[in-house]
A and B are shown apart, each in its own frame.
Chain A
Amino acid sequence: MQLELSEEDRRFREEMREFFTTQVPQEVRDAVREGRELTADEIRTAQRALNAAGLAVPHWPVEWGGKDWTELQRHIWNEEMQRAFVPAPLAFNASMIGPVIAHFGTEEQKAEFLPKTANLDIWWSQGFSEPDAGSDLAGLRCSAVRDGDDWIVNGQKTWTTLGQYGDWIFTLVRTDPDVKKQAGISMLLIDMRSEGLEVRPIQLIDGGHEVNEVWFDDVRVPGANLVGDLNGGWTIAKFLLGNERVGVAPVGSTKRSLALVKERAKARIEGDPLVRARVAELENELLALELTALRVVAHSADGEPHPASSVLKLKGTELQQAVTELVLDLAGPGGLASGAVGEPTSGLEGWQQHAAPTYLNMRKASIYGGSNEIQRQIISRTILGL
Chain B
Amino acid sequence: MDFSYDDEQDALREAVRGLVGKAYSDFEKRRQAVEDDPGFDEAQWQRMAEMGLLGLPFAEDDGGVGAGPVEIGIVCQELGRVIAPEPYLTSVVYAGGLVSAVGTAEQRQEVLGALSAGESVLAFAHDEPGRTWSATAEAVTATQDGDAWTLSGVKEPVPHGARADVLVVSAALPAGGTGLFLVAGGDAERTGYAAYDGTRAARVAFDGTTATPLGEPGLDVTASIATVQAITRVMAANQALGAMQFCLRATTEYLKSRKQFGVPLNTFQALNFRAADMYVSQELAQSIVDWATMVVEQAGSRGDQEALIDAARRASLQVSRSSRHIGQEAIQLHGGIAMTAEYSVGNVVAHLTVLDHLLGDGTHHLSELAGAVTGHADIDPLG
Q: Check B43 for interface membership: any CB of A closer than 8 A.
A: no
A280 touching B370 in the complex, CB below 8 Å, given contacts A285-B318, A384-B252: yes
**CB-CB under 8 A for A298 and B378, given A288-B287, A373-B273, A384-B252:** no
Q: In the assembly, what is the distance between CA of A251 and CA of B21, in Å?
A: 39
Q: Are A376 and B276 in contact (CB under 8 A)?
A: yes
Taking a contact as CB atoms under 8 Å apart, the answer to whether B294 and A2 are in contact is yes
Q: Does A262 contact B (CB under 8 A)?
A: yes
Interface residues on A, range: 35 or more
**Contact pick for A283, options B3, B256, B287, B373, CB 8 Å:** B373
Q: Does A263 contact B (CB under 8 A)?
A: yes
| Chain A 13-40 residues near chain B, CB threshold 8 A | 13
Kindly specify which of B75-83, B172-180, B277-285 makes contact with the partner chain.
Answer: B277-285
Residue pair B70, A1 in contact (C-beta under 8 Å): yes
Segment touching B, from A90-98, A206-214, A308-316: A308-316
B1 touches A72 (CB 8 A): yes
In the complex, are the beta carbons of B373 and A269 less than 8 A apart?
yes
Q: Does B293 lie within 8 Å of A1, measured CB to CB?
A: yes
Nearest CB on A from B286, distance (A): 8
Judge whether B291 and A3 touch: CB under 8 Å.
yes
* CB-based contact B369/A280 at 8 Å: yes
**A279 beta carbon closer than 8 Å to chain B:** yes
Contacts of A311 in B (CB 8 A): 279-280, 283-284
Do the beta carbons of A376 and B283 come within 8 Å of each other?
A: no
A13 to B380, CA, bound (A): 13
| CA–CA, A177 and B272, complex, Å | 33
The chain B residue sitting closest to A256, CB to CB, is B378
What's the minimum C-beta distance from A284 to chain B, rounded to whole angstroms?
5
- Docked-complex contact B3 and A284, CB < 8 angstroms: no
Residue of chain B at shortest CB distance from A2 = B2
* Residue B379, interface by CB 8 Å: yes
Q: Are B283 and A259 in contact (CB under 8 A)?
A: no
Q: Does B341 contact A (CB under 8 A)?
A: no
Q: Which of B252, B290, B295, B371 contacts A386 (CB 8 A)?
A: B252
Q: Does B188 contact A (CB under 8 A)?
A: no
Interface mask (A362-386 → B, CB under 8 Å = 1, otherwise 0):
0000000000010111011101111
B335 within 8 A of A: no
Which residues B335-383 have CB closer than 8 A to chain A?
Answer: 366-367, 369-371, 373-374, 377-379, 381-383
Distance A292 CA – B256 CA, assembled complex (angstroms): 28
Checking A266, A284, A299 against B314 with a beta-carbon cut-off of 8 angstroms, the contacting residue is A284
CA of A279 to CA of B366, assembled, Å: 10
- Interface membership of B275, Cβ < 8 A: yes
- Interface hits, A260-310 → B, CB 8 Å: 262-263, 266, 269-270, 273, 276-277, 279-281, 283-292, 294-295, 298-299, 308
Residues of A within 8 A of B370 (CB): 273, 276-277, 279-280
Is A9 an interface residue when CB atoms closer than 8 A count as contact?
yes
Please give the distance in Å from B301's CB to the nearest CB on chain A.
11
With contact pairs A72-B1, A280-B373, A386-B252 given, residues A1 and B279 touching in the complex (Cβ less than 8 Å)? no
For chain B, the count of residues having a C-beta within 8 Å of the partner chain is 49
Q: Are B255 and A262 in contact (CB under 8 A)?
A: no
Decide if A174 is an interface residue (CB 8 Å cutoff).
no
B132 an interface residue at 8 Å Cβ cutoff? no
Contact status of A385 and B1, CB under 8 A, knowing A284-B317, A287-B288, A314-B280:
no
Q: Which of A4, A286, A308 contacts B1, CB < 8 Å?
A: A4
B373–A4 touching, CB < 8 Å? no
Taking a contact as CB atoms under 8 Å apart, the answer to whether B374 and A2 are in contact is no
A276 touches B318 (CB 8 A): no
> Nearest Cβ distance between residue A373 and chain B, in whole angstroms?
7
> Is the pair B4, A3 in contact by a Cβ cutoff of 8 Å?
no
Question: Is A5 among interface residues, defined by CB-CB distance under 8 A?
Answer: yes
What chain A residues lie within 8 Å of B283 (beta carbons)? 292, 308, 311
Find out whether the CB atom of A291 lies under 8 angstroms from the CB atom of B276.
no
Known: A281-B366, A283-B379. Is A288-B275 also a contact (CB below 8 A)? no
Inter-chain contact B280/A379, CB cutoff 8 Å: yes
**Chain A residues in 8 Å Cβ range of B366:** 277, 280-281, 284
Which A residues, 104 to 152, have Cβ-Cβ distances below 8 Å to chain B?
Answer: none
Asked if B279 and A259 make an inter-chain contact with CB atoms under 8 angstroms apart, the answer reads: no
Q: Which residue of B lies closest to A384 (CB)?
A: B252
**A9 vs B383: C-alpha distance when bound (angstroms):** 13
- Which of A2, A288, A294, A373 is B285 in contact with, Cβ under 8 Å? A288
Cα distance A286–B3 when bound, in Å?
18
Question: At the interface, yes or no: B266 with Cβ under 8 Å from chain A?
Answer: yes
Among B256, B295, B373, the residue within 8 A (CB) of A276 is: B373
Residue B133 interfacial (CB < 8 Å): no
Q: A266 touches which one: B266, B291, B371, B374 (CB < 8 A)?
A: B374
Task: Give Cα A379–Cα B252 distance, bound, in whole angstroms.
Answer: 12
CB distance from B314 to the nearest CB of A (A): 5
> B298 at interface (Cβ–Cβ under 8 A)?
yes
- Cβ of B138 < 8 Å from any Cβ of A? no
Measured CB to CB, the nearest residue on chain B to A270 is B374
* B297 proximal to A (CB < 8 A): yes
With known contacts A315-B280, A376-B273, A380-B272, A291–B378 Cβ distance under 8 A: no
| Interface assignment of A258: CB less than 8 Å from any CB of chain B | yes
In the complex, whether B196 has a CB less than 8 A from a CB of chain A is: no
Minimum distance in angstroms from A289 CB to a CB of chain B: 7
B279–A384 touching, CB < 8 Å:
yes
> Is A255 at the interface (CB under 8 A from chain B)?
yes
- Counting chain A CB atoms within 10 Å of each CB, the highest count among B5, B70, B279 belongs to B279
Residues of B within 8 A of A380 (CB): 266, 272-273, 275-276, 279
Chain B contacts of A379 at CB under 8 A?
Answer: 276, 279-280
Known A-B contacts: A6-B1, A295-B290, A314-B280. Give 4 more (CB < 8 A). A259-B378, A280-B369, A283-B373, A284-B314
Write the residues of chain B forming the contact surface with A, with a CB cutoff of 8 angstroms.
1-5, 9, 70, 248, 252, 255-256, 266, 269, 272-273, 275-277, 279-280, 283-288, 290-291, 293-295, 297-298, 314, 317-318, 366-367, 369-371, 373-374, 377-379, 381-383
12 contacts between A and B (CB under 8 A): A3-B1, A281-B317, A284-B317, A287-B314, A288-B287, A288-B318, A291-B290, A299-B3, A373-B273, A377-B276, A385-B252, A385-B256
The 4 closest A-B pairs by CB, nearest first: A291-B287, A380-B272, A3-B294, A379-B276
